[in-house]
Structure 1
């Protein structure tokens, strides 16, 4: 793992590159990147909105409202943008907090009445006013984001009270951001202190240890109130409110038969990376606590107490806790537990998207497909697909200086694409700007659904052609952001919505014409052609005018942009384009032929890869797998034909497997590994 200093250097370069490629101010890029990180770990919700407002004595850059926990977060930042890590001093901190608090109190008093209605700041001030007026807040957090380092005793600041709501002060500094990067499991962030009697189920020889315990309803509410969605970060299901029959039943039991909750409910399945036991044998601390089944149970109990004011002190919830100490096996273990345990409501395959072959295919193309050299450059480069945060930096962790320089030249920072950005640009092109406007998490969820459905219909859909086209859509997105930021008509605010709707409008234009955008041209140039830029200039201006003048009844522009009615209004804009360059478009039949060619190549590559993989597996492993399935230990049993091929491979009767044999052996190996066989 990278040191704090290495992480800071990489983080700063990421911000500078992101700002340059998107036409943003560096402070804007910093704010967006950190907010998305906080959403990813559950510190904020996907409802967060950037909204800059700086006046005398006031400074704020955005806000977030957690409707489930009734928590309002108001955001400010201190971006040092220095090559070395700066200290965030008490004086700087107090000044920032005071400006935030002044804005908050002024908003409670009706500041929105003196603001321009079409601005993002107006929506922010109005919503804050509304939350307080309607008594919709249990807690308010003033949060400072910084790339500096705050001394530890300044991170925990005393709480206050504002209009009956608890007022907390919180600093997110470079140490905290490093913790997020350091482990996808975020073990330092979701540790919980408990005092629970427990029963140990298995011995130390197992790859994991399991414990049974019981947790009280009030205690569960306190844990959720403190940690929120962080607890469900690895969960496959979000809370469905009290709409389904299962959740209605939960509420009825909590309210009328709380003492029967233990008997009626399946309880919670959770994981941890480590636990601490007291001398009395009780669980005292659970590190990296994650609820992988029972998210609805937890949220239902919380909602019952906080929203419906129901007493949950008599509710007892059984909990099965599995401790997985090997971090490399934790994601796979969690995925399997979730897949087999989640039966309460229907689970879609897209809920397990993190294990989708989509990522493997994208990573494989990312590692071997070179982009054309442009601008007189002699060296060709790659687009780096980052499935897991920090993967780009980790790839350089053990390289020598010369190797690092070579890696950076071949994989420039400006050509790193993470799964969140990719999902956003793909959903834009699929003409769902209303979903994109709801935030990165909603875009990713929709993207997962669409890709899963696509792969279920056609498991060869993710080809080299798809990879190149997807990268071109990222280039399109970044170029459009730059155009909007630099436009004379753009007066600030709603840039993200304008970009999303503009790209969707272009996609709609292409689809209704019966043609396809010539992504090959964009790929070869590694930039958007001049003629397409001129089209986008016309589109973005018209789109901005349309979305900033919402339909009657939609005073809040941010909320209007999240509505499908907004998309209906935008897609009906009539723009008179000048004569277009024919090179920008190709016939659909031509594109389909190229896709078919790409699939044929993938079939051949897959067959060769299977053969190479099978030949590289040791004979000892093939013997182990054969014994495993011959004795019917597997969850899945093999057919006589499969078992016969496996036996021949284990006794070296097959020296060079055919394509069909290699495919069968590869599938058997993969299944055995998933079932827990210790293969190496």
Structure 2
């Protein structure tokens, strides 16, 4: 696991450095040097650093630093590679680089006269030459994005000045970047304590207090922690485009003293609170909150910050009411979504928003935030697909980039075209799984069905799963382009989902999603097949004498599309996998699902298939699955876990729609 984390860190470091260098039009090694020095300055390892690059025969340097109160002269040399991180920094290489750096310190006086008087390198030479006159020690730093195979060389000296060596290789940079920053709770102290009013509660898992928080303090908290403060919110800050947010801003600027009266305040949770109690043991003030999260009121909080920092507004008169719920960590997943659902009234929040904290979406976001997509279109720049687990996350991340250069860099790493939401994900997956009639019912209803399926058969959200879902997104976008080219017009979204579903059906889900992921595009053969299939599907979906929107919502439409005469072209058939793509949908206990399927009589599974065929109440793949399970049980074949889970879902759906077993 540690090696995987280091690999991800290495890829992130390379991609981020490339993007920054491109945006700022600077050299890649120089950009890496500045990045590392900024981190080391923040950590207190170095101070007063300056970057300037000079290389000549036997000499190389990337910058220098002067320790506080001239405690040391620090010299930096960089080793940066665009190759994979498995390429190690050897002992011989590091010793050679340190020699070149020390040679610069020895020769800087003779180098200076040959340089332009306005150059950064000449200024560096003068500063180093002056520091060598009275500095008590010299520290040589080797900065590298490779893993070193050896320790730093032993101390030496230069003109009687002690010289030490430090190697900041990939492993050490990774430790520095992650030290103390994983899962740390947000802790907020109040001095003097914040007055509060406790509400009696018999509930063992949580208790509630009410308080009024200074607006400036809340804005400062957001400035310090940003979206970490809103991790359990159903959505991120929605910027100031909506009417409610503009209203918040106007009140803060024009009538700050009335904010408490006008605003609904915030709803927060904490895992532990240190209270001041009165003689009766009642909570009267808050000294400290640990594990603070704002689960409703993200707009209010971020708007306060925007007014304080962006508009330079005065928040001294602003007060914000807070309902604080103390929730034990083991009950967060159960209680917080309900708090969000029942308390959120400022902007319309959809079912999609309320599912933000589901473990499936949290896991998918966690993996995709560290997942680099291979470079495409001949570029050497890797990118990310940005999954919006909560509405507005992309805009919020972009807003953190305060300069045009930083914003360009963010968009290079996370292009807008590669942003997708939870409802988009449900659309891609259901199209691949041949459920286009769900997709055609709209984002909300389709997502509701998707979550039902997730609850019944929770996918194993791992690296491969995320890559394949993104491949589905790429395939969907390719189909969408084909639908546009064939004049689908206002019905393009319907034609797209049905075309992708028909493609999935005809190929038996044997399209190589892993190849699409690797190439970040569909193959020419697949593109040609879509060009041939799309107009045939369009003729059925956009049928004459029918209300297209209502027709596409019906399973009968899928039955009609599934019968469209089309066979896989030879060129595409050559690319298909031997077996269908597995999405690793696993229930909590797969063995239980298999046992339950096997406990049901063969005759009942066969009867479900026959009943579905006669009534049309189940979809074609569902009734085919019932027949398949019956056949496997009859011949004694093993039932795969994923098939068992789906079969149980089919049986529950059949019972709901009126199927009655013979024994009933």
TM-score range with shorter-chain normalisation? 0.3 to 0.5
- Computing the radius of gyration over CA atoms, which structure comes out larger, 1 or 2? 2
Which structure is richer in relative contact order (CA contacts within 8 A, separation 6 or more)?
Answer: 1
